[in-house]
Amino acid sequence: MIETIIEDYSLKNLNTFGIDVNAKYFTVAKDVETLKYIVESCKTDGIKTLILGGGSNILFTKDFDGMVIKPDIQDVRIIFEDAKYTYIKAGAGIEWDSFVEFCVNNNFYGAENLSYIPGTVGASPIQNIGAYGAEAKDIIHLVEYIDTEDNTEKEISNSKCNFGYRDSIFKNQLKNRAIVTNVIFKLSNTPNFKLNYGEIENLVEAQGEVSAKTIKEVITEVRKLKLPEPKEIGNGGSFFKNPVVDNQVAQKIQANHPDMPSYPAGIKTKIPAGWLIEKAGWKGKTVGNCGVHKNQALVLVNYGGATGNEILQLSKQIASDVYKMFGIEITPEINII
């Protein structure tokens, strides 16, 4: 089915930062065939394309001089079950949290810690979204995508996705080449809860019952308390990745700052960027129309009317101050367009 193509379309309500930019062309694709058709037509006509998921991890610094495509594949179905696992195929356009809810309501386990993360199913493998000790890679079995190089449908198994911390093949070798259409998840038929992240265990136990439902409720509450609601204050969640540094670097900082939180990351150490930014004095600060959130320094916010460039400049200033103070480079996890 050929969808409507709209010219000069405002993306303000399609990015959670609420940045007021236009796409030269905009369209929604409800199935794989339509997506392939649009991509092929744009290629023929020399029009560049941008795939937009939930718009929760993107900072627009200018109008997009091409076709913004919103994949809206919404099917979800169980494709296979064995004694241990249930395999579920979910369309790229499904809201991530609706998918988590579907799993929790049907007693498919493994997605509950990833509750209330903004965005879509299609973005989950790209970013390898993660929270509270779990990552999308723990439950992704296979990713189906369109390879825009030859406009064919392909699939890639979990082990070939090169998943890392907020990283995957889709951000590297397949960057600007793969359009995720469906993700096949492998959920466990029996619970194996991960509660050892921060305050989560106590909060869940205080509910009187440890279940996927209570974990979902607790994590949703914690996220709502800590992170600003994009509908109220524009933001894209964590702006920076937590830096992973050599152990000696972390130990050196810890010697001067015994309160520094840190997590082991393989043979290295991960330091929360929010802590570094707070120590550099940026937490809660406002610059023009944007600023650093008061409850979570990792989150940059648009108080209304900020341009993408204002937010980008603010992020550079913060990164520079963190570097001056700690000698550590923090890099955006947000895609800057």
- The reply to whether 122 sits near ligand EPU by the rule CB under 6 A is no
Query: 166 catalytic, yes or no?
Result: yes
Question: Which listed range, 28-36, 41-49, 70-78, 269-277, lies at the site for ligand EPU (CB under 6 A)?
Answer: 269-277
Q: Is the C-alpha dihedral spanning 167, 249, 330, 218 positive or negative?
A: positive
Task: Pick the piece of the chain touching ligand EPU (CB under 6 A) from 8-16, 100-108, 153-161, 293-301.
Answer: 293-301
Residue with smaller CB distance to ligand EPU, 57 or 182? 57
Residue choice 72, 97, 310, 333 for contact with ligand EPU (CB under 6 A): 333
Q: Mind spelling out the 3-state secondary structure of the chain? A: CCCCCEEEEECHHHCCCCCCCEEEEEEEECCHHHHHHHHHHHHHHCCCEEECCCCCCEECCCCEEEEEEEECCCCEEEEEECCCEEEEEEECCCEHHHHHHHHHHCCCECCHHHCCCCCEHHHHHHHCCEECCEEHHHCEEEEEEEECCCCEEEEEEHHHCCCECCECHHHCCCCCCEEEEEEEEEEECCCCCCCCCCCHHHHHHCCCCCCHHHHHHHHHHHHHHHCCCCCCCEEEEECECCCEECHHHHHHHHHHCCCCCCEEECCEEECCHHHHHHHCCCCCCEECCEEECCCCCCEEEECCCCCHHHHHHHHHHHHHHHHHHHCCCCCECCEEC
Instruction: State yes or no: is 238 an active-site residue.
Output: yes
Strand partners, 183: 90, 143
Which of 29, 142, 233, 297 is in the footprint of ligand EPU by CB under 6 A?
Answer: 297
88-103 burial, b if ≥16 CB within 10 A, otherwise e?
A: bbbbbbbebbebbbbb
- Which residue of 43, 141, 241, 268 would you call a contact of ligand EPU, by CB under 6 A? 241
CB of 101 to ligand EPU, least distance (A): 18
Q: Which C-beta is closer to ligand EPU: that of 126 or that of 297?
A: 297
Choices 61-69, 97-105, 149-157, 274-282 (CB under 6 A): range interacting with ligand EPU = 274-282
User: Catalytic residue among 41, 95, 153, 166, which?
Assistant: 166
Q: C-alpha 20: how far from its chain's center? A: 21
Binding of residue 282 to ligand EPU (CB under 6 A) = no
Beta strand 22-29 pairing with 64-71 = parallel
**Does residue number 283 form part of the binding site for ligand EPU (CB under 6 A)?**
yes
Residue 298 as a binder of ligand EPU (CB under 6 A): the answer is: yes
Q: Is 55 in the site for ligand EPU (CB under 6 A)?
A: no
237 binds ligand EPU (CB under 6 A): yes
- Of 54, 91, 274, 308, the residue at the interface with ligand EPU (CB under 6 A) is 274
Report whether 145 contacts 48 (CB < 8 A): no
Q: State which of residues 73, 94, 114, 131 lies at the interface with ligand EPU (CB under 6 A).
A: 131
Q: Which of 198, 281, 305, 327 binds ligand EPU (CB under 6 A)?
A: 198
Site mask for ligand EPU (CB under 6 A), range 72-111, x = bound: ----------------------------------------
Report the residue from 41, 278, 313, 325 that binds ligand EPU according to the rule CB under 6 A.
278
For this structure, is 333 an active site residue?
Answer: yes
Residue closest to ligand EPU (Cβ): 237
List contacts with ligand EPU (CB under 6 A).
Answer: 131-132, 198, 226-227, 237-238, 241-242, 261, 272, 274-275, 278, 283, 296-298, 333
Give the active site residues. 166, 238, 333
